[in-house]
Amino acid sequence: MKIYNTLHKKIEEIIPIEEGKIKMYTCGPTVYHYAHIGNLRTYISEDILEKSLNYLGYKVDRVMNITDVGHLVGDGDSGEDKMAVAAKREHKSSMEVAAYYTECFKSDCAKLNIKWPDTVVPATNEIDEYIKIISRLLNNGHAYIADGNVYYDTSTFEKYYELSGRNSDDLLVAVREDIKEDTAKRNPFDFGLWFTNSKFNNQELQWDSPWGRGYPGWHIECSGISMKYLGENLDIHCGAEDAIFPHHTNEIAQSEAYLGHKWCNYWVHMGFLNDKNGKMSKSNGEFLTVSLLEEKGYDPLAYRYLCLNSNYHNALTFTYDILDGAVNEYKKLKNKTNSLVEEGSLEEDKFNKYNDRFKKALDDNLNTSMAITILYELLKDNDLNGTTKLELVKSFDKVLSLDLLKKTEVTSDKDSYIKEMIEKRKEAKANKDFATADQIREKLLSEGIVLKDTREGTTYEIVG
């Protein structure tokens, strides 16, 4: 498979460390709030990457962390731990907050047909691992103690700017202002490996360490968990593009300084989901969650379909109009796949031809929109019998995961609105208020929606 590798700023063929196997690490969520659909776009793309690798014949060993401690509000080690802020907001303990939002994230993933990775590790489970790594970094001169905290000395790591491809001056201008805030640091981008009481003496989650009671920094968690579960060499590390700096840059610095050799070969970054204010975030604009889309009547898989029609690497701007468009297309697609019936026997040559084209699209830097185009083509192809079409759809859906053969209705907010109006009309009729019932029918008609009263109840057709 060819994939865009941020490390070398180009599309490269993936050559696994061990033949036929891929060790893949993906940064997990910080469980201080619900995931928004921007976060989930990243997890959809990672899911597609894992499933595509499987489809192309690789065995994928995937690990993800759950950040439940150490992710401070500011990237420059300023502000409180996000979990502590959430615990105060919700009058709960940090662990209760983490347990609740981890379950919510799991349920969102299930609704979007995102496979839960084989190994998912909460950061708080691996404190000894971080202590082991930090101890070596102190011994080999890559870390120092200041104000009671342990920091990584970025001036000791020659390739510190390789992943971001930017120099220190550029980055200082580009990154958020709070990067310099911690005055104990020797260099502006040095980052916390271990914080003690001198940082926050009221931090709820704390552990003993050789440097005093405290807690780990966010970056060390991903290095520690990845190396513990996937070993000293990693094939692929993923995250959204905001993770390139500082998070992934810091992961490389500390892991390679600890190991004494190169750590990860392919860095794959997912494009943002934007809204009208720019990058969708929890503090800016409408907090769009899967549950909110469901409340509005949208099928979560229509959102997955929308994501698959864009390139994982590019930004995607969310609007309800675009989602409505995706609902309609997905609905039509499902109508087609749901009406397929077995006829004849499998035409192997034709199956292989389409399947090869599908694989080629995935192989080509995860070209999911092309993969969907191929799906449409085969559905239209009069030269294929029903059995071959069914087998192809079943096979492609192992990657696309759009429930193409499941006989479920795709819903949109328009559908739920119409259903609500039908209910109101039914009530009006039951109350012998025929004028209101007629008004509802006329209103829907003026919006291009035709109601049909049948013995089984009222159905509708959208004509406009």
Q: Which residues form the interface with Zn ion (CB under 5 A)? A: 27, 222
Q: Order of strands across the sheet with 214-216?
A: 143-146, 149-152, 191-196, 214-216
Q: Distance of alpha carbon 454 from its chain centroid, rounded? A: 44
Q: Output 331-335 pairs: Cβ under 8 A, ≥24 positions apart.
A: 331/302, 331/410, 331/412, 333/305, 333/375, 333/376, 333/379, 333/402, 333/404, 334/402, 334/403, 334/404, 334/408, 334/410
Residue 50 token pair: 């894992």
Binds 242: which of Zn ion, ligand AMP, none (CB < 5-8 Å by kind): ligand AMP
Least separation, in Å, of the C-beta of 280 and ligand AMP? 4
Least separation, in Å, of the C-beta of 26 and Zn ion? 8
Residue with smaller CB distance to ligand AMP, 35 or 138: 35
Residue 294 token pair: 């469901």
Least separation, in Å, of the C-beta of 275 and Zn ion? 24
d(CA 196, CA 209): 9
d(CA 77, CA 147): 13
Binds 39: which of Zn ion, ligand AMP, none (CB < 5-8 Å by kind): ligand AMP
d(CA 427, CA 74): 54
Least separation, in Å, of the C-beta of 70 and ligand AMP? 11
**Residue that has been written with the tokens 């907001």 in this structure:** 89
For helices 368-380 and 320-338, the axis angle rounded to 10 degrees is 40
Residue 9: CB atoms within 10 A of its CB come to 9
Binds 240: which of ligand AMP, Zn ion, none (CB < 5-8 Å by kind): ligand AMP
Give the residue at shortest CB distance from ligand AMP. Answer: 38
Binds 272: which of ligand AMP, Zn ion, none (CB < 5-8 Å by kind): ligand AMP
Least separation, in Å, of the C-beta of 310 and ligand AMP? 12
Residue 210 token pair: 């050789």
Binds 362: which of Zn ion, ligand AMP, none (CB < 5-8 Å by kind): none
Least separation, in Å, of the C-beta of 105 and ligand AMP? 8
CA distances from 402 to 111, 304, 372 (A): 11, 7, 11
Residue 322: CB atoms within 10 A of its CB come to 14
Least separation, in Å, of the C-beta of 238 and Zn ion? 9
Residue with smaller CB distance to ligand AMP, 48 or 280: 280
Binds 236: which of ligand AMP, Zn ion, none (CB < 5-8 Å by kind): none
Residue with smaller CB distance to ligand AMP, 43 or 157: 43
Residue with smaller CB distance to ligand AMP, 280 or 333: 280
Binding site for ligand AMP (CB under 6 A): 27, 29-30, 38-39, 41-42, 67, 239-240, 242-243, 272-273, 279-281
Binds 30: which of ligand AMP, Zn ion, none (CB < 5-8 Å by kind): ligand AMP
Residue with smaller CB distance to ligand AMP, 278 or 344: 278
Q: Residue 84: CB partners within 8 Å, gap ≥ 6?
A: 94, 200, 202, 203, 204
Residue with smaller CB distance to Zn ion, 146 or 259: 259
Q: Residue 389: CB partners within 8 Å, gap ≥ 6?
A: 340, 378, 379, 381
Least separation, in Å, of the C-beta of 80 and ligand AMP? 15
Least separation, in Å, of the C-beta of 4 and ligand AMP? 16
Residue with smaller CB distance to ligand AMP, 12 or 242: 242
Binds 222: which of ligand AMP, Zn ion, none (CB < 5-8 Å by kind): Zn ion
> CA angle, 232 as apex, 227 and 233 as ends, to 5°?
110
Least separation, in Å, of the C-beta of 237 and Zn ion? 8
Task: State phi, psi for 149 to the nearest 5 degrees.
Answer: -100, 160
- Asked if 61 contacts 55 with a C-beta cutoff of 8 angstroms, the reply is no
Residue with smaller CB distance to ligand AMP, 278 or 448: 278
Binds 106: which of Zn ion, ligand AMP, none (CB < 5-8 Å by kind): none
Residue with smaller CB distance to ligand AMP, 188 or 285: 285
Alpha helices in 116-217 (DSSP H): 127-139, 168-174
Residue with smaller CB distance to ligand AMP, 114 or 378: 114
- Asked if 60 contacts 52 with a C-beta cutoff of 8 angstroms, the reply is no
Binds 279: which of ligand AMP, Zn ion, none (CB < 5-8 Å by kind): ligand AMP
